[in-house]
Structure 1
Amino acid sequence: MGIDKKFEVYVDKLCKRIKNKDVHDNIKLEIGDHLQELKEDAMRRGLSEEEAVHEALAHIGDEKVLGKQLNKTHKAPLDVQTILPVLAVSLVGLLVMYYLQFHSSITALHEMKLFHKSLVFYLAGLLLMLVVFQLDYRKLAKYSTPIYAGILLVLSLTVLLGVRVDGIPYLNIGFAFINFTEITPYLLVVAFAGIFHSWNWRDTRKSWLGAGLLAVPILLLSTTGAVAATFISLIVSVAMMSVSSASIKQVLAVTVPLSILPMVRLFVQADPSALPSTYAGLTLGDANFIGSAIKSTPGLMSEVHTDFIFSYTLYTFGWMSAIIVFALIASFIWRVISTGRNMTYSYGRLLTIGLAATFSVQFILNILMNFGVSAVPGAAMPFMSYGGSHILLEMIAVGLLLSIYRRRDTVEQSVAYS
């Protein structure tokens, strides 16, 4: 075996004992440099090259012992401050579904088996979250353009061939109907992060091209009537442009014209009678601080398990429960924003801030709707509202955030651009 090869073999054996593969490159570089320094120092003291190599390896220690120490030091970190609020809100959502299925007066909700289905959704979502946490999010960057093209294709098919349910087009894939508009903002975050993480907004040609890339999916969303998804995508665009160093003038020039159509559609479609304070027959003053203000679920609250689950929680379990839910989701969003602001890797920062914007707007729209301030339909309460697709999607997004946090201190690798 060649003399230099001994260092390489040693480092490879060392890395095999470290389960967190994200740190392998850093460790190979660090240990390799240290071994070379020890070797050169030994040779300056008059040792032969072979003797110097043996002394360097003996000085740094047995790879089994060192590998065990490094494995303990470099365990993949799980961001507890991100995951705990998510799990807590999910448990509250599951509790509400249990109450709706077994204690509400709406027979249809009993027959839907809300609790049993929600339990399956949450468990599947938790599994997907853990799987995504293990994956290296940086590898997504090279798929940004295909993801963007796929979004445009599926959105176009949804607009042209979609079956409308409550005014929103669902795509028929044969065995199921998919509300792709609900998924679109999350996919746009992934696509835009990869496209704009190194974008030069000062270049006139790229500035126009970037504006076009942002505008096309939002215009397609506007034609679907999915007001909430359109607004969320607009704010995602603002976040992406701001973080990728676009000027304020450029941000306004792109987003202000794009907001006109959804605003007009909102005013046209707005139906004050659909607000919870009206059809529940209650006002906010009727809610107790702790405990139920209503003995049975009002029959007209048809969306109590989806859009208006926050109102139901407030009136059924009291203001305290609603405040706890609000605080948990707000703390989760703030944690995500804080993580994004501290990221040095531009792609990870864009992904994090984009997902923070998505969750934030979705959360704010739902709160405003539940308090009767806004009539924007289709904004689910994160981690609480009933629905398999959005629960799974949100859990996958959390897994992606955990993956980003796990690798926040690792070097920016070329794999993301290959």
Structure 2
Amino acid sequence: MSSSKFEEYLSKVISKVKSKEAHSMIKKELSNHMEELSRSFQERGLSVKDADKKAMQEMGDPSTVGKNMNHLHKPRMDWLLIALFVLLAGISFLPLMGSVSVPSLSFMKTQAVWVFLAVLALIGFLFFDYRKLKNLWMYFYGCGLLLFFTTFLVGVEINGAKRWISFGGITIDGPLISLFLFLIAWAGIFAKINEFKGWKKQGMLLFLFWTPVLFYLMVPQLLFSIIYFFSVLAMYVFSYPQKQFAIKAAVGNLLIGILFFSMMILTFPNRYLSDTLIPLKDILSEAGWFGNGLYNDLKLAEAHTDLVFPFLVYSFGWAFGIVLCLLLFAFILRISLNAFKTEDLFGRLIAIGGAAFFIVPACWNILMGLGIVPIMLVPLPFISYGGSLLVVYSALLGLILNVYRRKDIVEPTIVN
């Protein structure tokens, strides 16, 4: 096409688009479309000059096109997901008001500080170009291993688990943060899956995949091992171009994983499961539809952390419990649906892995609270008391919101 006229047309269009990140994608999109129009007019017998002119006329007034492009390609915010986050974070204060035996005001002040830090983490991961993380997967994986070994060697052991790092009066959950780093690392790996061809590279990926699974069992932290396992498998299925092969490979690893985790639980039940016998079904049978009130006589250990769900049901009733389950379901479903609204593979994998990151603990905690599955250290996302948990979950949510925010301004990397 005649470059001067064409560039002038594009400049007028781009001047109406506020998002600078979308400029290159829009230029590429319009260039391809106008070249196709020009070729079609040339095939009808027009000269190159006339065909180019006709193509620009066909596209329409550049100012109008620019305004339409600005509407289509602009950052977007998922306010529903943010509202659900605020609602769930607000519910986290309820158990602190009625369940803890020590002065609840101290717990609530601490939780308020962590919520504030969680909001900062969410915002921090929301307003930068997440695609810059894709090529840093080796660093994220390496930092995850380093953080794990630091915790394992010099960490503080609490309740039989050596998973805490304490410095300057602040205690953080090392393995949990490493879990977040591993998720980003694998999203970067699977976004470049075509670069890992050949049995040697595939063998290396298999080794990298199973290593954290074994490491988390050393802590011991069975839940993190399961979360990591399912999150990575979910990302793998949706990253591999050959879906049938990916599904077969994932099912194979899934069966091995189920057998392996079952064997570990049966062989070392005291290491991975709680030996506390709590009549949860009896407690829930006294809840009724509307509960016994927040300030009740229920004495339930860890009612503000791992057993927060049965406490809330006992206090506010099954009606509240059902609504809470629906809120968590809507939260996870929203993330899952948003994953397929972006055409950037790296962003889609982050959202898919993030959905699994929330699904596993949410389902296990609720089923555990209902007395269906064994009791172990499983926090309910955003609701159980715990600073590191809240900040990591919020950082991951910020990254997922980041993907949604840029879904209309990033160039597609998924080949349909």
TM-score w.r.t. the length of structure 2 is 0.81
Partner of 1:271: 274
Provide closer, same or farther for how the CA distance between residues 133 and 250 of structure 1 changes in structure 2, counting only shifts above 3 A: same
Partner of 2:200: 205
Q: CA deviation at 1:370?
A: 1.7
Partner of 1:307: 306
Q: Is the 1:266–1:376 contact (alpha carbons within 8 Å) kept by the matching residues of 2?
A: no
Q: CA deviation at 1:172?
A: 2.8
Q: Indicate whether 1:234 and 2:237 are aligned.
A: no
1:401-412 superposed matches below 5 A: 401-408=400-407, 410-412=410-412
Partner of 1:188: 182
Q: Indicate whether 1:145 and 2:148 are aligned.
A: no
Partner of 1:337: 336
State how many pairs are aligned: 401
d(CA) in 1 for partners of 2:229, 2:262: 7
Q: Is the 2:144–2:179 contact (alpha carbons within 8 Å) kept by the matching residues of 1?
A: no
d(CA) in 2 for partners of 1:357, 1:230: 13
Q: 1:198-223, CA deviations, whole angstroms, 9 ceiling, x for partnerless residues? A: 43688432332121001111211111
Q: 1:4-32, CA deviations, whole angstroms, 9 ceiling, x for partnerless residues? A: 35644653564354233443222112334
d(CA) in 2 for partners of 1:255, 1:315: 33
Provide closer, same or farther for how the CA distance between residues 270 and 35 of structure 1 changes in structure 2, counting only shifts above 3 A: closer
Partner of 1:110: 105
Q: Which moved more, 1:26-35 or 1:303-312?
A: 26-35
d(CA) in 1 for partners of 2:38, 2:294: 78
Q: 1:271-313, CA deviations, whole angstroms, 9 ceiling, x for partnerless residues? A: 34354729xxx52110021142674354x43422221221221
Q: Which amino acid aligns with 1:186?
A: F
Q: 1:156-212, CA deviations, whole angstroms, 9 ceiling, x for partnerless residues? A: 111111111122221234442211122333322211111133436884323321210
Unpaired runs of 5+ residues, structure 2, are 241-245
Partner of 2:214: 219
Unpaired runs of 5+ residues, structure 1, are none
d(CA) in 1 for partners of 2:131, 2:258: 28
Q: Is the 1:242–1:251 contact (alpha carbons within 8 Å) kept by the matching residues of 2?
A: no
d(CA) in 2 for partners of 1:294, 1:60: 63
Q: Is the 2:183–2:350 contact (alpha carbons within 8 Å) kept by the matching residues of 1?
A: yes
Q: Is the 1:241–1:251 contact (alpha carbons within 8 Å) kept by the matching residues of 2?
A: no
Q: Is the 1:359–1:382 contact (alpha carbons within 8 Å) kept by the matching residues of 2?
A: yes
d(CA) in 2 for partners of 1:342, 1:62: 28
d(CA) in 2 for partners of 1:234, 1:275: 29
Q: Is the 2:144–2:181 contact (alpha carbons within 8 Å) kept by the matching residues of 1?
A: yes
Provide closer, same or farther for how the CA distance between residues 55 and 197 of structure 1 changes in structure 2, counting only shifts above 3 A: closer
Provide closer, same or farther for how the CA distance between residues 347 and 46 of structure 1 changes in structure 2, counting only shifts above 3 A: closer
Q: Is the 2:176–2:224 contact (alpha carbons within 8 Å) kept by the matching residues of 1?
A: yes
Q: 1:110-136, CA deviations, whole angstroms, 9 ceiling, x for partnerless residues? A: 333x1x333343344334334433333
Q: CA RMSD in A?
A: 3.7
Provide closer, same or farther for how the CA distance between residues 83 and 105 of structure 1 changes in structure 2, counting only shifts above 3 A: closer
Q: Which moved more, 1:244-253 or 1:283-292?
A: 244-253
Q: Which amino acid aligns with 1:242?
A: V
d(CA) in 2 for partners of 1:61, 1:192: 45
Partner-residue secondary structure (3-state), 1:18? coil
Q: CA deviation at 1:146?
A: 0.7
Partner of 1:164: 157
Q: Indicate whether 1:179 and 2:173 are aligned.
A: yes
d(CA) in 2 for partners of 1:254, 1:270: 18
Partner-residue secondary structure (3-state), 1:273? coil
Partner of 2:26: 27
Q: Is the 1:274–1:375 contact (alpha carbons within 8 Å) kept by the matching residues of 2?
A: no
Partner-residue secondary structure (3-state), 2:394? helix
Q: 1:365-409, CA deviations, whole angstroms, 9 ceiling, x for partnerless residues? A: 211222233344332111211222212221221222222233445
d(CA) in 2 for partners of 1:350, 1:324: 29
Partner-residue secondary structure (3-state), 1:318? helix
Percent identical: 26
Q: 1:238-276, CA deviations, whole angstroms, 9 ceiling, x for partnerless residues? A: 323433426233554567446644664445453343547
Q: CA deviation at 1:82?
A: 3.4
Partner of 1:320: 319
Q: Is the 1:275–1:375 contact (alpha carbons within 8 Å) kept by the matching residues of 2?
A: no
